[in-house]
Structures are given as structure tokens and as C-alpha cells.
Amino acid sequence: MFPLIGSGRFISAPVITEDGDPILDPIVLQELNAAKEPTSVGQVGPSDGFELVKEHDKKVIQWKLSLHQIGLDVIRTDRTLVFYEKQENLSKLWDILAVYAWFDKEVSYCQGMSDLCSPMIILLDDEADAFWCFERMMKRLVHNFTRTACV
């Protein structure tokens, strides 16, 4: 649904408006192109498997809006740790939080989740293991991250 997930890259710029219109931000387009191929040049389009068109599904709009906030929080998480000097480690954190936001649409993403997920990324080599540990922890903490608590 979004080509940067699993690419080793992430974004911190908005990709969609609240009305579902794509934001043609040059930074986002550059990141999407870099995810496609590190040496690619040109516009992202349908042939790349990602078409920048108006989104009508409210759940998808909400999820894509959360990607921006996830990116902002990821770059602020544990910034003094050497582990996060590598973009690929920041990307793992972003991937897990982005997938979780889709997986649990009720909670989606709230500020603070990146701090809870970070130790799992650092301690577990496997991204899937880190995701499921995070998901299990969120089941226990879900009341701290309801929509009313996140707003």
C-alpha cells in the first residue's frame, strides 16, 4: 500500500491531505524514487506500482496521515544511541510502527509508541519478531493509547 515500507527508508513529510489528495512534496517523491531504485530518476507513477491519486477510503487516508507523525517521532527516538545513526535501523522502527498502525486501526499510532518499540528493535535482530513483541505489549497497554488519549 505504500512503497517505502520494507525498503530500508522512511519519510517524515506528509503524503496525503485529510481530504485524500496526494501531496506532491519533492521530498516524498525523492524518497519514493530512492525506494524504487537507488539510482532511479524521474517521477513516481503507475508503472512503479505506486500511483499518486486521490484516496477515498477513510481508513487508508487515516493510516497515510499517521505515516507523517510516525516519521517525525522516529527521528526523535533515542537519538543519542549509536544504533540509530544508521538509516536502516530508523527505517526498521518506522516500518514496524507503520505496519502496526495498519494492523490495529482502532489505536493506529500515538506519540510514545516509538519509545516503547525501540528496545525491541535494538534487542531483536528479526524485524518480524520485534513487530510481534511490540503488538503483544500493545495488547497490554492499549488503554494508554486509545483515540481519546492520543488526540
Instruction: List pLDDT tens digits, range 40-97.
Output: 333 334 434 456 678 899 999 999 999 999 999 999 999 899 999 999 999 999 999 9
Name the grid cell of 37: 531504485
Domain count, the chain: 1
**In-domain check, residue 1:** no
Sign of CA dihedral 120, 122, 123, 128: positive
Confidence (pLDDT) at 15: 86
Mean pLDDT of the chain: 83
**In-domain check, residue 135:** yes
Name the grid cell of 18: 485529510
pLDDT at residue 14 greater than cutoff 90: no
Range of the domain at 131: 26-150
**In-domain check, residue 3:** no
Q: CA 137 → CA 45, 69, 143, 144, distances in Å?
A: 38, 21, 12, 12
Please name the residues in contact with 114: beta carbons below 8 A apart, sequence gap of 6 or more.
Answer: 70, 73, 74, 76, 77, 93, 97
**In-domain check, residue 10:** no
**In-domain check, residue 120:** yes
pLDDT tens profile 87-123? 999 999 999 999 999 999 888 999 889 999 999 999 9
pTM of the model: 0.81
Confidence (pLDDT) at 44: 39
**In-domain check, residue 85:** yes
**In-domain check, residue 90:** yes
pLDDT at residue 37 greater than cutoff 60: no
**In-domain check, residue 84:** yes
Q: Is 38 exposed, middle or buried (0-12, 13-18, 19+ CB in 10 A)?
A: exposed
CATH number reported for the structural domain that contains residue 109 in this entry = 1.10.8.270
